Amino acid sequence: MKIDGTPYRAVWVDEGDRWSVRVIDQTKLPWSLDFLRLATLRQAAHAITSMQIRGAPLIGVVAAYGLALALRDDPSTDAMERAAAQLAGTRPTAINLRWALDRMLTRLRNTLAGQRVAAAYAEAAAIAEEDVEQNAAIGRHGLPLIQQAAEAKAGAEGTTPGQPVNILTHCNAGWLATVDWGTALAPIYMAHDAGVPVHVWVDETRPRNQGAALTAWELGRHGVPHTVISDNAGGHLMQHGRVDLAIVGADRVTRTGDAANKIGTYLKALAAHDNKVPFWVAVPSSTIDWTVSDGVRDIPIEERDATEVTTVTGRGTDGQLATVRVTPTSSPAANPAFDVTPARLLTGLITERGRCEATAESLQAMFRDRA
Ligand code: MRU
């Protein structure tokens, strides 16, 4: 997608040395656009744990490149298995991480040590390219939902022609969370680029503010109209008919269609259900965990540091970044980072193969070769 007219991706191999890995430092957005150079396994693992890069598909791709970086130092089987285990331990909820590492190991275990570095870069690049293609396909399959909503609005009594379709999204499932396009935002970018009037309600997504900081930034840089709202505003807007549909991403979807996504997604799905607002989850197949059937019981939920809840970081009127405490120093805080939305609350899933119901039967029918 574009930053002020220039196309970017969220990860790429350095054009100069052709081996180090470049990413956008997402902890610096929206205040500054800084690029990081990852040259070692440790740096790649740190980028994931510190959330310099985040978002389920991007975590998987950076982990794949992290393994390639590790193999540059030591291509032996022992070192490779240790590096993969280290990367797999960086974040627990997004299944894309394990999926990407499993795919890398399947390829590399059958490759001679002397050829492993080249094979690892090739496989990581293939995963990255497939991510872009899959997200573009998700965009194409989600686009009709927005077009239909626009047509319904244009034909509805009492509406002014050309009124935008209002879409609510939670967290950041845009191009910053993937290699390009994003998942939930892909249909929105496609609608905007096709001239369908859209407006996005961007949940701020406390405690780390991925909505306020990242989604708002990338939509703004691409020129998509949007409004940041507090996490508590969505239900109210839905009650007043100001949300036409919701589209979110996911970090793991069970084979039965339960979806784990950023904390707060479940509450939005409940409000959408109560107000008959269509609620879609956009995911590539690498986000589906075919081994798990009960999301609430079986998906591990990351617990992050309480300081993410007790503090906020922003830019002061003096232009300097500051982190301030917002809770009493004596109050403990808890920070579960994801929640699970049961399949029954979802209108459906948007995948690279098309849209389907969030049920075991529909998912199996769409992904017979995987399920
Ligand atoms: O903790 P994060 O920022 O990695 O969480 C990201 C999300 O919850 C996204 O919605 C999800 O990964 C889908 S990304 C296309």
Q: What is the mean pLDDT of each run of 10 residues along the chain (371 residues)?
A: 87 98 97 97 98 98 98 98 98 98 97 97 98 98 98 81 93 98 98 98 98 98 97 98 98 98 98 98 98 98 98 93 96 98 98 98 96 74
Using the mean position of ligand 1's atoms as its centre, give its distance from the Cα of residue 97 in Å: 12
pLDDT for 25 = 97
Domain boundary among 113, 128, 143: 128
Domain boundary among 80, 107, 128: 128
Give φ, ψ of 41 to 5 degrees: -55, -45
Residue 233: inside a domain? no
Residue 133: inside a domain? no
Using the mean position of ligand 1's atoms as its centre, give its distance from the Cα of residue 299 in Å: 15
Using the mean position of ligand 1's atoms as its centre, give its distance from the Cα of residue 173 in Å: 6
Contacts of 29 (CB under 8 A, 6+ apart): 176, 213, 214, 217
Contacts of 228 (CB under 8 A, 6+ apart): 202, 204, 211, 212, 216
pTM of the model: 0.97
pLDDT for 168 = 99
Residue 320: inside a domain? yes
End-to-end CA, the chain: 32
Using the mean position of ligand 1's atoms as its centre, give its distance from the Cα of residue 360 in Å: 23
Q: Kindly report, residue by residue over 155-202, the tens digit of the pLDDT.
A: 877 777 789 999 999 999 999 999 999 999 999 999 999 999 999 999
> Angle at CA 138, nearest 5°, toward 187 and 242?
35
Using the mean position of ligand 1's atoms as its centre, give its distance from the Cα of residue 261 in Å: 6
Distance CA 265, CA 7 (A): 30
Domain boundary among 84, 103, 128: 128
Q: Is residue 249 lining ligand 1, measured as CB closer than 6 Å?
A: yes
Residue in 214, 247, 251 to alter for ligand 1 test, most ligand atoms within 8 A of Cβ: 251
Instruction: Give the ligand 1 atom nearest the CA of 249.
Output: 13
Percent helix, strand and coil across the chain, each rounded to 5? 45, 20, 40
pLDDT for 306 = 98
Kindly state the tokens that stand for 208.
């780390």
Active-site residues, by number, are 251
pLDDT for 90 = 98
Look at ligand 1, atom 5, and give the residue with the nearest C-alpha. Answer: 55
Which domain does 42 fall in, by range?
2-128
Class of residue 197 by CB neighbours under 10 A (exposed 0-12, middle 13-18, buried 19+)? middle
Distance CA 28, CA 47 (A): 12
Q: Is residue 29 lining ligand 1, measured as CB closer than 6 Å?
A: no
Kindly state the tokens that stand for 246.
């919701």
Instruction: Give the ligand 1 atom nearest the CA of 302.
Output: 1
Q: Are 23 and 59 in contact (CB under 8 A)?
A: no
Placement of tokens 């991925």 in the chain: 210
Residue 226: inside a domain? no
Instruction: Give the ligand 1 atom nearest the CA of 208.
Output: 3
Residue 371: inside a domain? no
What CATH number does residue 63 fall under?
Answer: 1.20.120.420
Contacts of 222 (CB under 8 A, 6+ apart): 1, 2, 3, 189, 192
Q: Is residue 173 lining ligand 1, measured as CB closer than 6 Å?
A: yes
Q: Based on the structure, what is the number of domains in the chain?
A: 2
Alpha-helical segments (H) within 14-115: 41-49, 56-73, 77-88, 95-109
Q: Is residue 257 lining ligand 1, measured as CB closer than 6 Å?
A: no
